[in-house]
A and B are shown apart, each in its own frame.
Chain A
Amino acid sequence: MSDETTLGVSNDKLGMWVFLGSDCLLFGGLISTYMLYKDRIGPDDLGAEEMFDIPFTSVSSFVLLMSSLTVVLAITALRRNDIRRSRIWLLSTAILGAIFVGGQVYEFTVFYREGLGYTTNLFGTAFFTLTGFHGVHVTVGIIFLMSMYIQSMRGKLTSVQEERLEIIGLYWHFVDVVWIVIFTIVYLFPQ
């Protein structure tokens, strides 16, 4: 541990948990807004039931879920000083994250072509804001992971700096946890 701490826990890790707590409130607000506005569509507009492609989103959800496994394997590999394996898992996580974001971009494009834009109706605004914010979080996570990967390639990430990767792992798992909630409430709950 690099800094003095009176709680007996790492300040950096505590900082990440505080950030995740505040992010919980942000996503809670966005999910609540979606729930309130999901039925506010015009008489000729397409609703959630007609728009969503559940099998496609299920595959993306599974991909993101598995990325949580790869990041935790990267952390344990680094902890045991197995740098090579840690790098492989790190890169796998970033690739799985990129596949998820790519899927989201594809989904947004299809919705737009079918007539659902950001300002088409309140359902569209709430849906794109919620899932878009989540997509941005995943993208930021990929940037974090890639920076760790580059540091590892330059020999600057060893078992001594394992906590840095653990903190990024916490962020990544949080993004996964938020998607677990979004996937169930937005996509799977009866419309």
Chain B
Amino acid sequence: MSTTEETQIEESWVKQDWIYIKTALILGAFTAIEVFTYFESVHNAPEWLMVVTLSFLMVIKFFLVAAIFMHLRDDNAVFTKMMVMGMCIAWPVYFVMAFAMGFLPNWNVIIKVLFLFLPPAIIGSWLGFSFKGGDGSHH
């Protein structure tokens, strides 16, 4: 291997490590914002606003770890599809349970039904269209 190639490889490693460090810094910053909502001055904000903000930050942190640290962004798409499929199954299961136990807020029935079916339907459609399938031959 030539010196130029070695330098290029070394640079790509450094670049890769920087992506991870930057991701960790972003995750740390998001955690700090989350903790900030605990303080009294922010706690006086409406409950729905707190829940929406914290949920939004939680989802971003979740997907950052899954995409970058767990390599789903660069790895084989099968792993992403498996994870998304699990979430598609889990969503209605836990939603129905929360509905049955009276945990959900007093929303309109139509909104509840939309909340139950829309996310799995959208993601399920994406999954359905993204599966390419084989030609039936085995090598």
The chain A residues found within 8 Å of chain B, CB to CB, are 6-9, 13-14, 17-18, 20-21, 24-25, 28-29, 32, 35-36, 54-55, 58, 61-62, 65-66, 68-69, 72-73, 76, 80, 166, 169-170, 173-174, 176-177, 180-181, 183-185, 188-190
Minimum CB–CB distance for B37 against chain A, Å: 7
Question: Is B61 in contact with chain A by the CB < 8 A criterion?
Answer: yes
Minimum CB–CB distance for A16 against chain B, Å: 9
Q: A9-B79, A35-B103, A76-B13 are in contact. Are A181 and B47 (CB under 8 A)?
A: no
Question: Is B121 in contact with chain A by the CB < 8 A criterion?
Answer: no
In the complex, which residues of chain A have a beta carbon less than 8 angstroms from the beta carbon of B20? 69, 72-73, 76
In the complex, which residues of chain A have a beta carbon less than 8 angstroms from the beta carbon of B66? 173, 177
Q: A36-B103, A73-B20 are in contact. Are A24 and B28 (CB under 8 A)?
A: no
In the bound complex, CA of A25 to CA of B17 (Å): 32
Indicate if the CB atoms of A188 and B24 lie closer than 8 Å.
no
Indicate if the CB atoms of A68 and B65 lie closer than 8 Å.
yes
User: What is the predominant secondary structure among interface residues of chain A facing chain B?
Assistant: helix
Minimum CB–CB distance for A137 against chain B, Å: 15
In the bound complex, CA of A94 to CA of B83 (Å): 26
Q: A73-B17, A76-B16 are in contact. Are A170 and B70 (CB under 8 A)?
A: yes
In the bound complex, CA of A111 to CA of B47 (Å): 26
Contact residues, B34-60 vs A (CB, 8 A): 34-35, 37-38, 43, 47, 50-51, 54-55, 57-58
In the complex, which residues of chain B have a beta carbon less than 8 angstroms from the beta carbon of A7? 76, 78
Closest 10 CB pairs of A and B: A69-B24, A184-B58, A21-B86, A58-B35, A9-B76, A54-B38, A173-B70, A173-B69, A180-B61, A190-B47
Indicate if the CB atoms of B70 and A190 lie closer than 8 Å.
no
In the bound complex, CA of A107 to CA of B3 (Å): 54
Indicate if the CB atoms of A188 and B34 lie closer than 8 Å.
yes
Residue among A29, A65, A66 with most chain B CB within 10 A:
A65
In the complex, which residues of chain B have a beta carbon less than 8 angstroms from the beta carbon of A188? 34-35, 37-38, 54
In the bound complex, CA of A189 to CA of B103 (Å): 15
Indicate if the CB atoms of A62 and B31 lie closer than 8 Å.
yes
